[in-house]
């Protein structure tokens, strides 16, 4: 497959890029600034400057965009609105690295992880910003999107190799009550989703089994 990875130089993006190359895909790294990458093709461009032509011809576009400071948090929804606009009607699938804060903790889907009492208050703005990005996708038409939320404990330096399970919109835990996954295993799950043809127009989640 021809795969483009947006923000391919980030922690999640670089692992996703490496996983895609490991599987023999034709990978293009899209980065705002020039960074070292093993990808054979590179596009140096801000996500907000991407055009339909830039993303033409790809089977899958994996969006690993991240924004963390208060003034950049609106970028989560704004960049997805831009991607939706330039991908409308495209045959390409858009897979988005999502957040866990917007997962539901009740079957009625009225309470999210970020609204729970024990959720760190410092992370609420980020969770809300990422949740707003998800709403942009939900309201889109003509875009084949999938939003993949990680487990509650998303471990940047965790090792690869654990079995994982794909879930739905509700936070789930293993037999010990834990909800964890490493960035490396998340990247593996993302490529499994990319290689399949399921979950179009859905938000799904992934955690260690």
Q: Binning pLDDT at 50, 70 and 90, where does residue 34 land? A: confident
Average pLDDT of span 130-147: 97
6-20, 156-170, 194-208 — which is least confidently predicted? 156-170
Residue-level pLDDT at 74: 96
Assigned token pair, 192 = 């499994």
Q: Binning pLDDT at 50, 70 and 90, where does residue 159 land? A: confident
pLDDT above 90: residue 86: yes
Residue-level pLDDT at 160: 84
Residue-level pLDDT at 18: 97
């Amino acid at each position: 497959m021809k795969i483009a990875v947006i923000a391919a130089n980030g922690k999640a993006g670089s692992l996703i890029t490496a996983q895609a190359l490991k599987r023999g895909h034709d990978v293009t790294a899209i980065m705002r600034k020039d960074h070292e990458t093993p990808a054979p093709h590179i596009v140096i461009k801000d996500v907000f400057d991407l055009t339909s032509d830039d993303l033409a011809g790809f089977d899958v576009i994996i969006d690993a965009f991240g924004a963390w400071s208060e003034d950049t948090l609106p970028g989560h929804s704004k960049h997805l609105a831009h991607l939706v606009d330039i991908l409308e009607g495209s045959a390409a699938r858009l897979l988005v690295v999502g957040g866990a804060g917007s997962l539901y903790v009740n079957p009625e889907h009225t309470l999210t992880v970020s609204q729970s009492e024990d959720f760190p208050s410092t992370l609420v703005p980020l969770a809300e910003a990422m949740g707003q990005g998800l709403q942009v996708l939900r309201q889109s038409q003509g875009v084949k999107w999938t939003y993949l939320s990680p487990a509650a404990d998303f471990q940047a330096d965790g090792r690869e190799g654990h079995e994982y399970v794909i879930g739905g919109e509700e936070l789930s835990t293993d037999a010990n009550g834990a909800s964890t996954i490493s960035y490396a295993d998340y990247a593996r799950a993302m490529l499994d989703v990319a290689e399949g043809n399921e979950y179009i127009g859905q938000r799904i989640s992934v955690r260690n089994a």
